[in-house]
Every structure is written in structure tokens, then in C-alpha cells.
Copies of this chain bind each other. A is one copy, B any other.
């Protein structure tokens, strides 16, 4: 019932079709199509004339008609499975998206975004997108240990690039960063400063990269002969980061250094330390994973593990376009996060 009204109200200007261009350029619709797709079948002079006419009347090919006649939909999908409040506060996703966009825009690809409640909902979205032929491929975030999305995507044959790993991505292409190496570098740095009791406030335990970090943390602490490498699990929110910090700092053998799995929790931890009367970095050193501008805004500025997240997004999108293009694509190892020492870390000896 809305149809009539929609076309009346929604489209006062007539959208030109390929037939309009053909008529105006004095060629067939087929010729216009060839010209637009940069395919052989039209002379260069004709092609130019056709393109000029198309530009003149503001013609864009209907993405629906293109998709229906077998072409790609020229869109990729990204389903985000995080609660709204976490989505907003973490710069990670927006930075990733801006990188993805940079690559897609250059190729006139659209990004279809969907926020989902849980993994089942996300899988349902993939099945729907596939059935609707709405996207040519998907970017998969927040890889879990034993991720149920991977076999579904393999079964559907929906082109996909997993952002995460290494491992656990089945036959899907992936883009990953060596978190274990970054974690080791950080612990070695803190140990070199003289820290012995180092703790970590970790991200969501079900995420693969969390367990990779935890495993690396345990290993390096054992190797360096540091006592009990405690990891307190958390959920990336400031509240949980603060709570975990309070617990750590209240324990009899409180740590002299804490590594946080994201910047928001690190900032919350800094606040808690100050509220408990501990000096940072005198009494407590703090390292944040994800070096956002926030880390530089607080006092003292936070030592952080940073890397170029927009570039990560660019690489992921590029991989996905390659998979969609039919290339056989494997793992792409992105830059490893590097440590930027700032005012929040120092030797624990320098107390007071």
C-alpha cells in the first residue's frame, strides 16, 4: 500500500536507466553496458561518448539489476557482536571501519553494517545475507576459540576474511597481528625495569586473541622466573577494568605493574590507583593495549601497545576483495603492536 505513495513522494525526479543513455547516445543498451564495464565490444570513441552521456544525465547503474543479472552486489558485510555501550567507547571498531571504508570507497564498494546480539544472531545474519545475495563477502570480527561462525561460512561458501588468529580460521582467509610477540616484549620490558609481580587485566575470555595473550603471558612469566602471572578476566568496560584493578591492588602481594587488554580499562585502572593513593608510575606501572589518543590525554600519559588499526582494516578489506575476485588467499600477518613508553611505567624501585 505504500508503494504508490512512495514512488510519488520518493522520486519526483525520474531516475535514468541504461535505455535512456543508449537512446541519447544512439547505441544499443548492450553497448552502453560494455562501455560502462570497460569491456571490449565498443570503440574507444563510442565508449567516451557513452560515458559522457551517462555523466551528463547523472546515470548510475541500478545495483539491484546488476546484482540480479549475475554481477556482484558490490557490497560487503560486517556484523558486530558487542553490546552498544562497549561499541561506543572503544575506538577500535570505528578505526577499523574507517580503514575498511578507505579501501572499499576506492573501488566503489559499499559497507553493510549490522549490530547483532550474539553469535547465533550473527550466523542468522550471514545466512540471510547469503540468501538475499545482499553482500559479496563478509569481514568476521572477534574470532572465538572454536568459533561456530567459521564452519557456517565455509558451508555457505560466502567469501570471508577473519580478522583475528593465528589459527582457528579453518579454510577462511584471515588477517592477524602477533599479539603473543607484543605481550612478550611488554613483559620483558617491565621485567627489565625491575618488576617482579606483573598482573594483567584481560579481555573477554572467549575471544581467541585473549587466550593467545594469556598463554603468552603465562609462558613468558615462567621463562623469566616471575611469580604467578595473574590474569583477571574482564569485558573491556571501564567499570570492570576498575573492579579488576581494585581487586589486584587490594591483594596482599599486590602487583607493581598491570597490563590492560584495552585502553579504556587502563584508564579506569589509573583512576583506581590514584583513588587508592598509589602513585603511577612510582607505586604502579600501567601498560595499555590499543594506543588511542585517550592514552595521551590522561595524566600521566599511558605507556601503550599500539598499531595502525585503520591500516589493519585496509588490509582486511583488500584481502576480502581478493577472495571475492576469486583469488586463493591465506593468512596475512599484519604489523605487530609496538610499545610506546610514556609516563605510566617506571622502575618499581623508585618508590614515592
A contact set with B: CB distance below 8 Å: 2-3, 5-7, 9-13, 15-16, 58-68, 70-73, 75, 84-85, 87-89, 91-95, 97-99, 101-102, 105, 108, 110-116, 127-128, 130-134, 136-137, 155-159, 237-239, 242, 264, 267-268, 270-271, 274-275, 292-294, 296-299, 309-310, 324-326
Contact = CB atoms under 8 A, between A and B. Distances in A.
A133 B64 CA distance: 7
A110 B134 CA distance: 9
Q: How many copies does the complex hold?
A: 2
A134 B135 CA distance: 12
Contacts of A242: 297
A39 to B, nearest CB: 10
Given A64-B64, A111-B113, A133-B63, A84 B95 contact: yes
A130 to B, nearest CB: 7
A163 to B, nearest CB: 16
B94 A297 contact: no
Contact of A63 (B65, B115, B132): B132
B113 A113 contact: yes
Contacts of A239: 293
A114 B114 contact: no
A157 B13 contact: yes
B63 A134 contact: yes
A89 B237 CA distance: 15
Given A16-B131, A62-B132, A237-B293, 4 more contacts: A11-B157, A15-B130, A264-B293, A298-B298
Contact of A128 (B60, B271, B325): B60
Contacts of A297: 238, 242, 264, 267-268, 271
